Structure 1
């Protein structure tokens, strides 16, 4: 996204079960280290490691470091010129631009970070309804699912 200071790049990881953005970062470069830190964050905060991780074929997703950090996880790549293979996250990035970022003439990295944080953590994951989730938020969808699993486990 453009700012008055230059471009900043949003990298995000979505859980396809709930459409929740489970990790994101904003950076001034597209370096592999940004992706590595996001994957480490997901591994540290989720109950289990991702089973499959899907991405485009950018150099950061095909690097040796990326392959090492995702060892044991099935890596799925979009085919060249097939953006719909990555449709869910592409849709999210279009939505955040349309519903939030395009409304502002962003002056700095810090302002962009505040806007992205406010949108993802304050609205998209917690309030914004999704048809995939039965017209509830991703966070509510996950909680409903885990409550049902807990009830089944107690009954067993």
Structure 2
């Protein structure tokens, strides 16, 4: 019997490693970013460290590698885009407002050479797919080229 069980404590929960790209960190610290967004980011960071892909609101849809990325919705139309280079590692890749002037998904499209996303997606009226699979695992970047691109983005944006 483990020491935790003998002492009546629950076993230690799994903790996920989070890598925050420089752009995301700079945006959170920017004085122009509202306090509500900063607080929501901190809450998502904590929840993601504990729950992994379960902390994201939905998985992106579309052709190619679009479904390898998940999104957490923050207040004021902000979106935090995550990638999963390893089963226990989450990369916070993009934090940006999603409105008529800015689109966080444009960065993904360009950085990861993703196919055009016009005409796809769940839209507001349809349910968006969960980030985690049925067995509670993340949409891993299982392609070497995609994994390399995520690593490069994180390193260059750190």
TM range (shorter): under 0.3
Q: Return the structure number with greater relative CO, CA threshold 8 A, min gap 6.
A: 2
- In terms of fraction of residues, the more helix-rich structure is 1
